[in-house]
Chains A and B, each alone.
Chain A
Amino acid sequence: MHRIALTTLALALTGCINDDLTLYEFELRGTVTVAAGLPTTGTLNLELHHAQSGTGRFTYPLGQFAAFPEIGKPGADLDVTARAPIDEGEGLVVYAWLDVDGDGILCAPGVTDEPAGLIEVDEFPAHALRFTLTLTSPCSGSEALYP
C-alpha cells in the first residue's frame, strides 16, 4: 500500500515537472597571470565552462554556464561563487582573457595582442576549488584552446 502511494506520488510529480534544473554550487579561488611578452594592463574576463556538454552521442567540448566580466587585474586573488548545471555537462574549464583596450571585446581589427588562456580544474565537482591560470595565447577563444 505504501509503495503504491509512493509510486502514485512519484508519477504525479513526474507528470508535473517541466524544467528540472540541478545546480551544483561551488566557490572558486585563484589567480590569473599573463605570460611574458604580452600586455599586462587591463581587466580580466572570466568564463566557466563544462569540459563536455550534452549527453550520449550528442556530446561536444565546452559549454559556458557562467561569466564574470571585469573581475579584476592580473595577479590579483580572485574569488567567485558559481552554480553549474550538472545535468547538462561534465567537468570544469576556466577560461580568461585580458581586455587591454577596455572595449569588452576579445581583440578586434588593430588589436591583436589581448592575451587569453584556459585550464581544466580536475577536482570538480567539489564545493571549494583552487586554480592558477597563465594567459599565453593572444586573441584565442576558448574553443581554439580546448581540448
Chain B
Amino acid sequence: MSLALALALALQPVPTDSPPAPSDSSTAPVPSDSHATPAPSDSPAAPVPPDSPATPAPSDSTAAPVPPDSPAARRRARRTRFSESAPFDLVSSGARRRGAWAAAVQLGYPWFGLRAQLGLLPRLAILADLETALAQRWRPAIGIGLRWVDRPHFRLGGELLLGWLFQGEPLDRRGPNAEARIRLAVPVGRVAPYLTLGTQHTILPDRTRIIRESGTTTDWSARHEWTLKASLGLVVAITQRVGLDLGIDLAWVGAPNSVGIPGLHLGVLFGGGPRGAQ
C-alpha cells in the first residue's frame, strides 16, 4: 500500500519548486530548488530561464508573494540553501540531477562503509556500496537508487542492491546477496535528519560429498540468511559538497533466530557535479 502511494507520488510531474538551475549558479545566493525564492536585493540577480514560471508560487508557502528582501524570504533561502547539497543526496536516495555524484566514508562500531552514487537521470542514480562489520563480514554491492518523493523538506527514496557476502571463519557466510532499502530524509537548513530501513537476503550454498565404495557423489543445498538494518541519524552540510553524518545503527543479522546488535557511526560525505547554488 505504501509502495503504491510512493510510486504514485514518484510519477507526479516534477513540482514547481524545482526550476532549472541557472548556468552561473555560483553567483546566485539562493539555490534554484529553493521554492523559487527571490534573490535578496543586495546581491547580483540570478538569471531566470525564459521558460520558467515568472513568479512561481511555492508549494508549501502562502499565496501572498513575499518581498525579495524580506526577513521571511531570507529565512526561507537559508532553510533551503543546502537542499541540493551532495550530503543530502546521499541520505535521500537517487540524485537530483544527471551527473551529480556523491560519496561517503563511514566509520563506526561495528559497521564501516564506503558508498558512492552517480546521477543517471533526475531522481535516478547508480550506486556502489561496500559495508563491513569489523572487517570480519564484507558485502560489496552495486545497485540503483530512485527518489520517489523529492520536496525541499521531504525526501523519500528506495534502493535495490545486488552483491556478494563474504564472512570468514568460524562462522562462514558466503553467497549472493540482495538488499532493498528505503531512505527518508527531512532537510532543514544545514541539517537533515534521516531514517534508513533495509532488508537484506543472502543465499548460502552448502556442499556435501559422500565417498562411497561405488564412488563419490556431491549434493548441493542452500540456506537463507535474513538481515534487517536500520539507521537513524543526522547529516550536517558544511558546504554544498561536504558534510558530516552521525547516526545510530541496528543490524539484526540472521533474523529472526538471533539478536540485533546496536551500533553507531560517524561519516564524511562529499560530492560534486551539477548542483544548485554553490
Per-residue CB proximity of B191-222 to A under 8 Å, as 1/0? 00000000000001111111111000000000
Q: Does B173 contact A (CB under 8 A)?
A: yes
Of A16-24, A70-78, A89-97, A106-114, which binds chain B?
A: A16-24
| Interface assignment of A127: CB less than 8 Å from any CB of chain B | yes
A126: nearest residue on chain B (CB-CB)? B213
- CB-CB < 8 A to B211: which residues of A? 22-25, 86
List the B side residues contacting A56 at CB < 8 Å.
none
Provide the residues of chain A in CB contact with B206, threshold 8 Å.
17-21
Give the Cβ gap from B169 to chain A, nearest Cβ, in Å. 11
A19-B166 Cα distance, complex, nearest whole Å = 13
CA–CA, A15 and B212, complex, Å: 27
A18-52, CB < 8 A from B? 18-25
| Cβ 8 A contact of A18, one of B173, B210, B213 | B173
Q: Which residues of the partner chain B approach A17 to less than 8 Å between Cβ atoms?
A: 174, 205-207
Interface size in chain A (residues, C-beta < 8 A): 15
Complex alpha-carbon distance, A22 and B206, angstroms: 11
Q: Counting chain A CB atoms within 10 Å of each CB, which of B173, B204, B211, B223 scores highest? A: B211
Q: How far is the CA of A25 from the CA of B166 in the complex (A)?
A: 31
Judging by beta carbons under 8 Å apart, are B209 and A22 in contact? Answer: yes
B106 CB, nearest partner CB in chain A, Å: 25
A102 to B43, CA, bound (A): 97
Contact A15 B173 (CB under 8 A): no
| Closest partner residue, chain B, to A87 (CB atom) | B209
12 A-B residue pairs with Cβ-Cβ distance under 8 Å, sorted by A, are A15-B164, A18-B172, A19-B207, A19-B208, A21-B207, A22-B211, A23-B209, A23-B210, A23-B211, A25-B210, A86-B211, A127-B213
Taking beta carbons and an 8 Å cutoff, which residues of B are in contact with A? 164, 166, 172-175, 204-213, 223
Give the 8 A-B residue pairs with the shortest CB-CB distance, closest first: A127-B213, A19-B206, A18-B204, A22-B209, A21-B208, A25-B212, A23-B210, A24-B211
